[in-house]
Structure 1
Amino acid sequence: MGNLTHIHREIKLIRGQQVLLDFDLAKLYGVETRVLKQGVRRNSGRFPEDFMFQLTEVEYKSLTSQIVTSKGRGGLRYKPFAFTEQGVATLSSVLRSPQAIEMNILIMRAFVLLRRQLSEYSEIQERLDVLERDMNVKFKDIHEALKYLLQQEKKKLDQKQRKRIGYK
């Protein structure tokens, strides 16, 4: 489970998709990033845009401000590739080492775990929204009741303070 948690932390949300970056995948698979990219370029037909994409300049700058990527040689030379869950699954057919296959299984489990957690979060959020709506209705009812009681009290006070006509 420790490996699963580590992989889970490496998954990033970019363009509304859960992705793993090429240098993180290379680390997990035990290969150099250039070897991973080379394998992807040789099999580029297997990686359509919804499986893998290269980060834009803006995404890359945003990413480098969030994570430390420098290796003492000035950091990354090229914008990294981002692999979706389907891209990671396809990557296992490109990198055929036993470690890559084993790691690929763990990565798939991490994606499933993350999807399950997001689903649970959505359910909790939905329940909170329902509770909030119910509480708003109840608070509105309480507010109306208090307002009515204050008006009744004001009428009684006004009645006592009015100038009486007749016998004193």
Structure 2
Amino acid sequence: MEKTDVGVLKPEAIQSKIFTIRGVQVMIDRDLAELYGVETKALNQAVKRNPERFPKHYCFQLTNLERDEVVTNCDHLSNLRFSYQMPYAFTEFGVSMLASVLRGETAAKISIQIIDSFVSMRRFLYENAAIFQRLDTLERKQLETDGKHLRPIPIL
């Protein structure tokens, strides 16, 4: 993990571990465990010991399909393909709550950096929403145009 100072992660190192699953930005338990410097099993046990702190909109377990998509898109998570345990995904709120159940100065500092990365990415998406909308419109028009050219010619 790339750090700028002792205990300070580069924003890009965190942002590269944030995915959109089920329409929300999340981080996978293994990536969070690495950032917090704990074992994935220990992180998940802390969550299971405190279920009242982790409702479904804070933390959820991936489906087989979601796991396969994450593995396909991220080489560093390739070992998840063979795991018998489905990984958990944590939203920004779940990451914040992790700091309270993991405790410690490191957990608090890392959580702040991760949440800042979530906010930064959300700000980027908001500020560029018009551009993304225009690209989506252009892509749809292109697909429609391509579809018209691929239609079979009726035989008379």
The TM-score with structure 2 as length reference comes to 0.74
Q: Is the 8 A contact 1:70 1:76 kept in 2?
A: no
Bigger proportion of residues as helix: 1
Q: Is the 8 A contact 2:36 2:107 kept in 1?
A: yes
The TM-score with structure 1 as length reference comes to 0.69
Greater Rg over alpha carbons, structure: 1
- 1:24-103 alignment to 2 at 5 Å? 24-68=31-75, 69-70=77-78, 75-103=82-110
Is 1:22 the counterpart of 2:45? The answer is no
Q: Aligned partners of 2:129, 2:46: CA distance in 1, in Å? A: 37
Q: Aligned partners of 1:33, 1:42: CA distance in 2, in Å? A: 14
Q: After TM superposition, give the deviation of residue 102 of structure 1 in Å.
A: 0.6
Is 1:12 the counterpart of 2:15? The answer is no
Bigger proportion of residues as strand: 2
Could you tell me which runs of 5 or more consecutive residues in structure 2 were left unpaired when the two chains were aligned. 139-156
Aligned-partner residue type, residue 34 of structure 1:
K
How many residue pairs get aligned? The number is 128
Aligned-partner residue type, residue 22 of structure 2:
R
Could you tell me which runs of 5 or more consecutive residues in structure 1 were left unpaired when the two chains were aligned. 133-168
Structure 1 runs (4+) deviating above 3 angstroms are 123-126
Q: Aligned partners of 2:130, 2:73: CA distance in 1, in Å? A: 29
Number of the residue aligned with 2:114: 107
Aligned-partner residue type, residue 89 of structure 1:
S
Aligned-partner residue type, residue 97 of structure 2:
T
Aligned-partner residue type, residue 42 of structure 1:
R
Q: After TM superposition, give the deviation of residue 75 of structure 1 in Å.
A: 4.1
